[in-house]
Homo-oligomer: A and B are copies of this chain.
Amino acid sequence: MRVGSSADVRALARAISSVEEQRPAALDLLRAAFGRAGTATVIGLTGPPGSGKSSLVDRLVEGYRGEGCRVGVVAVDPSSAFSGGAILGDRIRMLRHAQDDDVFIRSMATRGHLGGLAQSTNDVVDLIDAARYDPILVETVGVGQDEIEVVRTADVVVVVLVPGMGDDIQAIKAGILEIADLFVINKSDLPGADKLEAELRTMLELGASPSRPRPAILRTVAVRGEGIDGLREAARAFLASAGRERRAERRRERAEARLRAVLSERVMRWVVEHVLDGEGWNGVVEQIASRQVDPYSAAEKLIERLEVR
Contact = CB atoms under 8 A, between A and B. Distances in A.
Interface of A: 27, 30-31, 34-35, 37-38, 77-84, 88, 110, 117, 141-148, 171-175, 177-178, 248, 251-252, 254-256, 258-264, 266-268, 270-271, 274-275, 284-286, 288-289, 291, 294-300, 302-309
Contacts of A291: 34-35, 37-38
Nearest to A275: B308
A267 B270 CA distance: 11
Stoichiometry, copies per complex: 2
Contact of A80 (B171, B274, B275): B171
A202 to B, nearest CB: 16
A294 B30 contact: yes
B81 A175 contact: yes
A274 B79 contact: no
Given A78-B144, A79-B171, 14 more contacts: A79-B143, A79-B145, A81-B175, A82-B174, A83-B173, A146-B146, A255-B289, A258-B288, A260-B268, A263-B268, A263-B299, A266-B303, A267-B303, A274-B306
Contacts of A300: 266
A88 B173 CA distance: 13
22 contacts: A31-B297, A78-B144, A79-B175, A80-B175, A81-B145, A81-B148, A82-B174, A82-B178, A110-B145, A144-B147, A146-B146, A252-B286, A258-B295, A260-B268, A262-B296, A263-B299, A263-B302, A264-B267, A264-B268, A267-B306, A306-B307, A306-B309
A78 B213 CA distance: 27
Contact of A306 (B110, B259, B288, B306): B306
B256 A285 contact: yes
B296 A145 contact: no
A46 to B, nearest CB: 11
Contact of A298 (B81, B259, B264, B271): B259
